[in-house]
Amino acid sequence: MNRQSALFAIHVAAVLFGLTGIFGELIQADAIVITAGRASFAVLALFAFIRYQGGSLMQGFKPRNIGVLVAAGAMLALHWVTFFVSVKIAGVAVATLGFASFPAFITLCECLFFKEKVSTAEWLILALVTLGLVLVTPSFDFQDEATVGLAWAILSGLAFAIFTLINRRAAAHIPAQQVACWENLVVALLTLPFSFPAMAQLDAINWLWIALLGVFCTALSHYLLVSSLMILKARSAGIVIALEPLYAIFFAAILFAQYPSIRALLGGSLMIGAIVWSGLRKTGVHAGKPIPSGEDRLPARRSNRD
């Protein structure tokens, strides 16, 4: 995968991620059940794809990978559960706008844990994202369900930011489809024990929605995300994924007549605009120059012999 195909893959992933909240609204089940179901179907789809390619889950796998994959899977489980809680409480628009804060968390985590320098412009972008979140907040009273839902969405964004950064390491050593399969397996193992009784009561249409969510919005989108992270820096991928609310709000308006307030739209526009500006600014910095090793790509993946 080159940079152009990586960018295309991450844009398709953004559309699929935008449909996630729609399925969360459609499925009549709680957040843990939805998470367990989507992860289980994703594991089946990814395993079938790996076998179709003649591969194996153990190809290139080493004991040192276990900790990274478990940590990433745990963060993915936390991200999904908190996101679906937000959708159930506050609706698709508020949930996706709150989740859109995750690129700001990526920048902060890169600064705190990877000691990457944050420029003045990036601090300004973080300030704009924060202001956008203030505008998106329905009220500052936690008796308001929409505000509680937004808080869950912000927590979901933080968990996804950490998950994305962990994948910078995981994707460097194992093929993308294997990373996605192992991480979804971790999610399933963490959530299925709490889901079996409720799963037995699901009807056929809810199983259909969960299957579509697991195969397309999970297996395929997760594979595209991890594949793109082999080429793109986590922050660059985050910029594209931050467009997810645009797709989610559009689908929610058509299907459920869920329309965000003018204030929420203004705050969301401010957040998304700041994130896109960050991407355009970085693109301008690299225009006409070769991209230095490690600047906007992951570490080169080692061969299976290493």
In a domain, 234, yes or no: yes
What is the distance between the alpha carbons of residues 91 and 25, in angstroms, rounded to a whole number? 7
In a domain, 68, yes or no: yes
Query: In sequence order, what are the residues at sequence separation of 6 or more whose Cβ sits closer than 8 angstroms to the Cβ of residue 254?
Result: none
Q: Which amino acid is at 218?
A: T
In a domain, 266, yes or no: yes
In a domain, 291, yes or no: no
The range of the structural domain enclosing residue 123 comes to: 3-280
In a domain, 292, yes or no: no
Closest CA to 88 of 23, 139, 160, 143: 23
In a domain, 33, yes or no: yes
pTM here is: 0.79
Q: What is the pLDDT along the chain (306 residues), one digit of tens a residue?
A: 788 888 888 888 888 988 999 999 999 999 999 999 999 999 999 999 888 888 888 876 777 778 888 999 999 999 999 999 999 998 898 898 888 888 778 878 777 776 667 677 777 777 777 787 777 776 666 677 888 998 999 999 999 889 888 877 665 667 778 888 999 999 999 999 999 889 989 999 999 999 999 999 988 987 788 788 778 876 677 677 767 788 888 888 888 887 777 887 888 788 777 766 766 665 444 444 443 333 333 333 333 344
Q: Are 79 and 160 in contact (CB under 8 A)?
A: yes
Q: Are 200 and 37 in contact (CB under 8 A)?
A: no
If one counts the domains in the chain, the total is 1
In a domain, 111, yes or no: yes
Q: Which two tokens stand for residue 215?
A: 């195969």
Q: What is the per-residue DSSP string for 125-144? A: HHHHHHHHHHHH-S-S-TTS
In a domain, 44, yes or no: yes
Helix residue spans in the chain (DSSP H):
3-26, 31-52, 65-90, 92-99, 102-113, 120-136, 145-170, 176-191, 196-199, 204-214, 221-229, 234-241, 244-256, 262-286
